[in-house]
Chains A and B, each alone.
Chain A
Amino acid sequence: MAEFGSFVLLLALALAGYSFLAGLIAIFRGQGSERLTETARRAGVASFGAIFIAAVVLVTAAFRNDFSISYILHHSNRDLPLPYKFATLWSGQEGSLLFWSLLLSGYGLVLRLRHKTDERLFAHASVVIAAVQVFFLLLLNFAAKPFAMTQGGVPADGNGLNPLLQYPEMVIHPPMLYLGYVGFTVPFAFALGALAMRYPGEKWIHITRRWTMVTWGFLTVGVFLGAHWAYSVLGWGGYWGWDPVENASLMPWLTGTAFLHSVMMQEKRGMLKTWNMWLVFFTFWLAILGTFLTRSGIISSVHAFAQSSIGDWFAWFLLITLAVFTLVYVKNRSHLKSEHRLESLVSRESSFLFNNLLFVLACFTVLWGTWFPKISELATGKKVTVGGAYYNTVTIPVALLLLLLTAVGPLLAWRKTSLESLKRNFLWPSLGALAVGIVLVGLGMQPWKEISYFYALVAAMLAALVALTVISEFVRGGRVIARHTGQNLVTSMGRLWHRNTRRYGGYLVHFGVALVFIGILGTPFNREAEKEMAFGDKMALGPYTLVCRSYTQEENPNYASDLAIIQIFKGDRLIDTLYPESRFYTASQQQQHVPAIRSTLQEDLYVVYEGQNQDTGRPIIKAHLNPMVSWIWIGLLVMVFGTILALFPNAAPLRAAVREIVEAGVRADPAPVGAGD
């Protein structure tokens, strides 16, 4: 089995290598190389088949408990539940690189099958994808071999999967994240291809628009699922710890989001062409950089894979891609001249520019903080820690400015926004946001007491502003349609969305972002309590009283578990019973807390069984009261829903409709253009 897996990986390398070289030669030869281009395309398609088979072989080995393969020995065991055996594919370094390769070749497959859209451009993009495929397949064949054999005798059982990864979300979080990371290779490939061939117009952007949105959607889900996993599994009561690996996933998300916005400038106004090229390149580059961070051991992280030589491979790959992109850019930069001028500072164009500045600045700040320990070590010989407090201090103001732009930007018109339209669009939402602020202060929020309370109040007001502007846009547009069609407001709003899915889907994404901020702004008001609790002991936290009823034990082949039975009272009323656990995994011989969470829209009660006091032998229960957290996950759902809605095709092309109206007007009154006045 291992030999077969190794063979198909080698075959995949040969196919991807051919696809790259033949495709490249065909591009340089130009006319008359159609057959060579076609063979390159087919080799690329076939490489997907080979990598897919390799992945199937590895997963089959996990299901068959084939511990002669070293990777299976170290990441699985006989009693591992079946879904986690499947997840073995991305649980370790070699497997995750194979999975990355599989996804990349999958994206490549779709691209190569859709080559009829524009054969020349797709051939260029296919070469870029093949080059990236070659890199990952070189790694898999020579540096991080998933089918390496176990040295010495084959043990009867494996070491098991890391307990932290034995959680349902870990079956979907890495695939989502990887789909996002890998997916940005596609817009990058089209961008580089379009630049290299000096592709006329913005068609490559239209072709990659859905790719980019889908990829962004996956990355968003991946990042948030990671946060939810941390919250549900790690047991420290938080969802984002600014760990380098979390940062690594956030950075391409930030530049990718900037790209999603700035690309509209290029589509609509022919502006920011150079910027978009570099932005999509850096998004791709940051995805690879994140992988480099986790694999090289250069930055310490709880997520980091074992330190190995593949960090050097990634470093070289990063340098080579940077050099190639820079070279192609320098050679063809004259092709990227902007077509339009700015007519007014109060316009959508300016807001997009500031939006991009803030996204890129946030990315830079995260990158800077992630690398600073290394920079400090190189400069002074002393390592420092850059923890969450640093990021909170430097990123929150930027995040709030971004939230402000989220509210303001979409309602500014292209070219120029009149004062009258500003008043019409913002008066009521602004008054609403102000009212939210006054109510919150009236309810006892004291922004003058601590900077974090001040930020929370500002975030609440801005989130309200975003939500209200989105709602007012839907209602106003819906009313116009309702007036014309006589349909009710809800149906009209549906039709409104269908007329311009990207715009209204985007508004929903913004609404989701506002909800996420509402969830985050509860953080300064988190409370916690800890107590050694024997039977019948009570612990108060906020409006709740936790009463320890019992401790019990459970056992299955995978782990043994100590559970506390904690009753939750609100006043005198029993409202719930929670079962925080402490598990001991048999195969890996590791212990793991599993918190119990009672979620409501208002707050989460998060209870952790921390184990026993070494001296007294009494069980320790820690509880956190985290306000508003549920809104983060609800916000994610709204963002995903908005992204899906934005992917639908429009009911009727809006521009064509406008053109028809204008033409009809001209026909009705054919006064010569330029006459009069």
Chain B
Amino acid sequence: MAFFDPKRARLIFGLFAGVLLLLGAGDDAARIDRIGHQIMCVCGCNQILLECNHVGCSYSSRMRDELTAAVTRGDSDNVILQWFIQTYGTTVLAVPTKTGFNRIAWIMPYLALVLGIGLVVLILWMWKQRPAPANASATAAMRRTDLDRFRQQARRETEL
């Protein structure tokens, strides 16, 4: 039996190429899906490109074709997104970029969270520092056994 069998080699090569093609096709579909969800349909429907389904939309089919063509050509994600921005304007991107002024869009909610937590902690600290109400000292002075008995009785009767 010869070490190199051209028939078998062709078969293996064919299978290998087929698998690569399928993988490539899968990659393309995944890329189209991923990029298509980063782009808005610009007809005014306010929907993600791949989710725009309204009847008679004059943009979404064309934009999908443009996206498919760019992905098939092998353009990088960045090149594709830039092309869409050049063609349709900045509103074509589904979310603000994380550059320039648009950074504020992303920073602000987290900044508000940090400031809010700081404020809550400050308020809690201030509340803790408040002097105890006058009647609290009287309660504190009440006999511990009495209080324990009342607490237990109240808990037993009202434990809900």
Which chain B residues border A300 with CB–CB below 8 Å? 44, 46
B112 contact from A243, A361, A592, A614, Cβ within 8 A: A361
Shortest Cβ distance from residue A433 to the other chain B in the assembled complex, whole angstroms = 23
- Kindly identify, within residues 83 to 98 of chain B, every residue whose CB is under 8 Å from any CB belonging to chain A: 89-97
Shortest Cβ distance from residue A646 to the other chain B in the assembled complex, whole angstroms = 15
Which chain A residues border B110 with CB–CB below 8 Å? 394
The answer to whether the Cβ of B154 comes within 8 Å of any Cβ in the partner chain is yes
- Kindly identify, within residues 37 to 64 of chain B, every residue whose CB is under 8 Å from any CB belonging to chain A: 37-38, 40, 44-48, 51-56, 61
- Determine if A341 and B95 form an interchain contact, defined as CB atoms under 8 angstroms apart: no
- Determine if A376 and B102 form an interchain contact, defined as CB atoms under 8 angstroms apart: yes
Query: CA–CA, A386 to B105, complex, Å?
Result: 9
The answer to whether the Cβ of B127 comes within 8 Å of any Cβ in the partner chain is yes
- Kindly identify, within residues 12 to 43 of chain B, every residue whose CB is under 8 Å from any CB belonging to chain A: 37-38, 40
- Determine if B45 and A302 form an interchain contact, defined as CB atoms under 8 angstroms apart: yes
- Kindly identify, within residues 565 to 608 of chain A, every residue whose CB is under 8 Å from any CB belonging to chain B: 582, 590-593, 608
Contacts A657-B158, A665-B149 given; does A390 touch B132 at CB 8 Å: no
Which chain A residues border B95 with CB–CB below 8 Å? 385-387, 389-390, 393
The answer to whether the Cβ of A354 comes within 8 Å of any Cβ in the partner chain is yes
- Determine if B109 and A387 form an interchain contact, defined as CB atoms under 8 angstroms apart: no
- Kindly identify, within residues 592 to 631 of chain A, every residue whose CB is under 8 Å from any CB belonging to chain B: 592-593, 608, 610-611, 614, 622
Q: Mark A379-395, 1 if CB is under 8 A from B, else 0.
A: 11011111111100111
Which chain B residues border A422 with CB–CB below 8 Å? none
Which chain A residues border B102 with CB–CB below 8 Å? 376, 384
Number of interface residues of A (CB under 8 A): 75
The answer to whether the Cβ of B2 comes within 8 Å of any Cβ in the partner chain is no
B154 contact from A353, A368, A661, Cβ within 8 A: A661
Q: Mark A236-259, 1 if CB is under 8 A from B, else 0.
A: 111001010000000000000000
- Kindly identify, within residues 658 to 674 of chain A, every residue whose CB is under 8 Å from any CB belonging to chain B: 658, 661-662, 665, 669, 671, 673-674
Query: CA–CA, A499 to B159, complex, Å?
Result: 11
- Determine if B154 and A662 form an interchain contact, defined as CB atoms under 8 angstroms apart: yes
Which chain B residues border A476 with CB–CB below 8 Å? 159
Which chain B residues border A103 with CB–CB below 8 Å? none
Query: CA–CA, A592 to B160, complex, Å?
Result: 53
Shortest Cβ distance from residue A12 to the other chain B in the assembled complex, whole angstroms = 36
Query: CA–CA, A185 to B117, complex, Å?
Result: 30
Query: CA–CA, A665 to B48, complex, Å?
Result: 68
The answer to whether the Cβ of B69 comes within 8 Å of any Cβ in the partner chain is no
Shortest Cβ distance from residue B156 to the other chain A in the assembled complex, whole angstroms = 8
The answer to whether the Cβ of B101 comes within 8 Å of any Cβ in the partner chain is yes
Which chain B residues border A674 with CB–CB below 8 Å? 138, 141-142
Shortest Cβ distance from residue A532 to the other chain B in the assembled complex, whole angstroms = 14
Query: CA–CA, A350 to B131, complex, Å?
Result: 18
The answer to whether the Cβ of B128 comes within 8 Å of any Cβ in the partner chain is yes
- Determine if B160 and A477 form an interchain contact, defined as CB atoms under 8 angstroms apart: yes
The answer to whether the Cβ of A357 comes within 8 Å of any Cβ in the partner chain is yes
- Determine if B124 and A353 form an interchain contact, defined as CB atoms under 8 angstroms apart: yes
Shortest Cβ distance from residue B93 to the other chain A in the assembled complex, whole angstroms = 6
Report the nearest A residue to B136, measured CB to CB: A341
The answer to whether the Cβ of B8 comes within 8 Å of any Cβ in the partner chain is no
- Kindly identify, within residues 94 to 151 of chain A, every residue whose CB is under 8 Å from any CB belonging to chain B: none
In the A-B complex, list the 3 residue pairs whose CB atoms are closest, starting with the nearest. Answer: A342-B127, A341-B130, A387-B94
- On B, residues with C-beta under 8 Å from A are 37-38, 40, 44-48, 51-56, 61, 89-97, 100-102, 105-106, 108-110, 112-113, 116-117, 119-120, 123-124, 127-133, 138, 141-146, 149-150, 153-154, 157-160
25 pairs, A vs B, C-beta closer than 8 Å: A235-B53, A271-B127, A338-B127, A338-B130, A339-B133, A341-B129, A342-B128, A345-B124, A350-B124, A357-B116, A368-B109, A376-B96, A384-B102, A384-B105, A387-B40, A387-B94, A388-B48, A500-B160, A590-B55, A593-B53, A661-B154, A661-B157, A662-B154, A665-B146, A671-B146
